[in-house]
């Protein structure tokens, strides 16, 4: 998986649009069962800020722990490129990865 959304680059930064942590919104029907699932990263229950991750493969051990709020519908070739980027210490990409543009559908979980 790839994680982003930390403007400090430390893995500990970033606040939500509300200026504070917000609660999980776990839905039993949503699973980390595919490539391209988009979820909030957190440091424990109800600690969502600005960080997120995108799965490269099924990650069933994450089910019930992270709020799923979208999925990749188009652009899997970009996800492929991100996955192929060499990583170094702490599994950090050796080259900067920046998402410059996204399209948000009315229902981000629709196919």
How much of the chain is in helix, strand and coil states, percent to nearest 5? 15, 15, 70
Q: What backbone torsions phi and psi does residue 12 show, to the nearest 5 degrees?
A: -120, -5
Query: Residue 34 CB: number of other CB atoms within 10 A?
Result: 12
Q: What backbone torsions phi and psi does residue 55 show, to the nearest 5 degrees?
A: -80, 145
pLDDT of residue 30: 96
Query: Residue 75 CB: number of other CB atoms within 10 A?
Result: 14
What pTM did the predictor assign?
0.90
pLDDT of residue 10: 83
Query: Tens of pLDDT along 42-85?
Result: 999 999 999 999 999 999 999 999 999 999 999 999 999 999 99
More confident residue, 15 or 63: 63
Per domain, the residue ranges of the chain are: 1-94
Which class is 1-94 in CATH?
A: mainly beta
């Amino acid at each position: 998986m790839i994680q982003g959304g930390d403007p400090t680059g430390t893995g500990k930064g970033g606040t939500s649009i509300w200026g504070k942590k917000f609660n999980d919104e776990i839905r039993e029907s949503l699973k980390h069962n595919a490539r391209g699932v988009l979820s909030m990263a957190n440091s424990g229950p109800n600690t969502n800020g600005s960080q997120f991750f995108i799965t490269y493969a099924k990650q069933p051990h994450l089910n019930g722990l992270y709020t799923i709020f979208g999925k990749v519908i188009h652009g899997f070739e970009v996800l492929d490129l991100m996955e192929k980027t060499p990583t170094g210490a702490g599994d950090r990409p050796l080259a900067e990865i920046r998402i410059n543009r996204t399209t948000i559908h009315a229902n981000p979980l629709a196919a």
